[in-house]
Amino acid sequence: MQSKEATLCIRGRLLELTRPKVMGILNLSEDSFYQSSISNTIDSAIGKVSIMIKEGMDILDLGPMSSRPGAKLVPTDHEAGLIQKFLVPIKNAFPELITSLDVFRLESIQIGIDLGVDIINDITGSHQCQDVFKSIHDAGLAYILMHSRGAFGNFHHADQKHYKHTSTDVIRELAIALDKAMQTGLQSIIIDPGFGFSKTIDQNFELLGQLECFCILERPLLVGLSRKSMIYTTCKSDQNQVLGGTLAAQTIALIKGANILRTHDVKEAVQCIDIVEKMKSVQSGI
């Protein structure tokens, strides 16, 4: 079952979500947990984006700061510099491409808004302040509200991972944040359960197994499962060797209603969508 919200308005443009979309990842921080996703030059970034577009990417997600376990909070001016360095040439090279910015501080969000980004992807969405929601609403952007607990630097601490019932608690905490965001007028909101943030491996898989429950929030659902520790730990491997495990998890997510796959591997994610959509179309005709 997919979200009832089949269309998303972004800066006056409509993004149709009847068929799931692919969000490709481009990391600008050398501290990223998956080195193949990093670009540190404009030419490298443009090249990678061009390839992902040819492979079927619908949305580009730019990450100027790593949020992996143990990552350090970088100075705001450093993050701002990376946004300015890469976002402008990417927008100029691919003016029709929908761009997302993986940031959570108001200063960085405002820079992204001023430079024409379309979506703010916020890892602190479930406990963000209303000033952020209002700025995004006023600019006409879409917003990815991700579940996490705590602040940057302790998302992954054990004391953030206590739940009475994982799925119920995560949905409840997202619902509270969703209501707070909507009070500012913000409507174009995508929900992200926050795989890997403030959850144990088993809790991540519990969320994946009950992903269809998130349709109660009546918002598009994004999942970020690509090459994460829940995958490579379960597969007894590392992030470089778990494309198969990632695709298995993404396929489950699609069957259970995911609208957007955030991934390092665009071509393969598109193939996942092709297969699941074909299955659904055949089943609907039986």
The pLDDT score that the predictor gives to residue 34 is: 54
**pLDDT score, position 1:** 44
pLDDT at 71: 65
Which amino acid is residue 29, in one-letter code? S
End-to-end CA distance of the chain: 18
E strand or H helix at 109: helix 106-114
Please give the backbone phi and psi of residue 243, each rounded to the nearest 5 degrees, phi first.
-60, -45
Q: Residue count of the chain, please give it.
A: 286
**CA atoms of 210 and 99, how far apart (whole Å):** 29
Q: How far is CA 79 from CA 62, 75, 100, 148, in A?
A: 11, 7, 15, 21
Q: What is the DSSP code (8-state) at residue 75?
A: P
Q: Under 8 Å CB-to-CB from 34, ≥6 apart: which residues?
A: 27, 227, 239, 240, 264
Residue 62 CA from chain centroid, whole number: 10
- Which residue blocks in 56-105 are alpha helix, DSSP H? 76-93
pTM summary value: 0.94
pLDDT value, residue 28: 87
Q: Say what the pLDDT of residue 136 is.
A: 97
Q: Residues in the chain with pLDDT < 70?
A: 1-5, 30-37, 68-71, 286
Model pLDDT for residues 191-214, shown as the tens digit of each residue: 999 999 999 999 999 999 999 999
Q: Look at residues 227, 279, 273, 275 and name the one whose alpha carbon lies nearest to residue 57.
A: 273
- Cβ-based neighbours of 37, under 8 Å, separated by 6 or more: 25, 26, 27, 264
Encoding tokens for residue 181?
A: 């965001």
pLDDT of res. 36: 64
- Give the C-alpha distances (Å, rounded to integers) separating 132 from 121, 153, 193, 219, 251: 12, 20, 20, 19, 33
Residues 222 and 260 sit within 8 Å (Cβ to Cβ): yes
Helix (H, G, I), strand (E, B) or coil at 110: helix
